[in-house]
Amino acid sequence: MRNIIILTSIMLLSMGLFAQTALTYKSNALLSGDVNTYREINYVDPGNAGANQIWDFSKIQYNGKNPVSIIESVSSKELSGVGDYNLLLNEGGYAYFFNFTEQGFEEKGYINTEKDMTLTYSDPVVKMKYPLSFGEQFKDTYTGVAFFQKTTRIDVSGDYTVVADAFGTLIMPDRVIKNVLRVKITRDGLDRNMCGSIESTSVKYLWYAQGMRYPVLSISTLSYQSGGQIPTVTNTASVNLDQLKETGTVAGNDDPQIQEDKSDIAVILYPNPFSEKISYHYFLRKQIPVSIGLYDMTGKNRLQLVKNQVQAEGLHTGDLDGTVAGLTPGVYYLRFTFDKKVVISKIVKI
């Protein structure tokens, strides 16, 4: 009877709420007056697309650069021919003119005072359509005219493609974030002037977390070439983890009990299903006792991986070797006890 009660509790706790992140005007549109400081990191591979991905960026390295972006609704800057706009983004030396609506936003043009360059679109770039959920995408074309030092004319055109290509879990150096939506943006451009033409392709990956208005992680690659020359490639990446949460919670598929609280603990496991070994990750915000037990479908405790061990604040990882534990194919449960909080996750041995 006791085993049945344990099994029932395990099954109820492991029934997660599927919370798929979607970008919306209310939650993700740029807000006038917001200032974001991004911490640049050394380039890392953006990882795979698809559902239920786990991106392990726990070893990222900061390079000490902290660029700032500032959003304004009214600007002292003016750009002839830009048309209607309601927001200006100052970032990386550029002032980008945007027009936001509840359906999305488009880029109307930009100014770079330091480079003495301006660009005005005759056919603006639609940069986002709201709402945008996993698997959805759209494509837009654009044309415009840029001027360098007010005399050199550059005709610009290209394609802009946005796809919400993945969702899953981010493992960062100081936290684990579940239900993150990744958006892939590809821009193929052609710039033509009196001296020739330049072809360019940029690919940017943006990770959006629930409750965070702006991307928490950005990874970009820019490639351009003139004529038959060897392409020049530039890689950049940055994080923005210090922004304030505004709505929702960062919840997990395996734990519907996570609340908006600094003591929350998210557990992730991969690969799941597994054939030989499964890894687990969790982040502790303070020093607490931890226990980890393995249970089978009958509620029997098959193995105690960690027993009432006091663990320090930070990211913790471990492995369960199914061959050593003598596991046969089937369904099992890992029970994590963090002080008084219990998280139970289903795992499948194949």
pLDDT grade for 76, boundaries at 50, 70 and 90: low
Mean pLDDT of 28-34: 93
> Is it the case that residue 154 has pLDDT exceeding 50?
yes
Helix, strand, coil shares, percent, the chain, to 5: 5, 55, 40
- The whole-number pLDDT of residue 245 equals 61
One-letter amino acid identity for 94? Y
Tell me how long the chain is: 350
CA distance to 26, 53, 199, per residue, from 250 (Å): 17, 16, 40
What is the per-residue pLDDT for 244? 65
Query: According to the model, what pLDDT value does residue 255 have?
Result: 34
Lowest-confidence pick of 5-19, 30-44, 52-66, 159-173: 5-19
Among candidate residues 131, 100, 129, 94, the one with its CA nearest the CA of residue 114: 94
Confidence at 75, pLDDT banded by 50, 70, 90: low
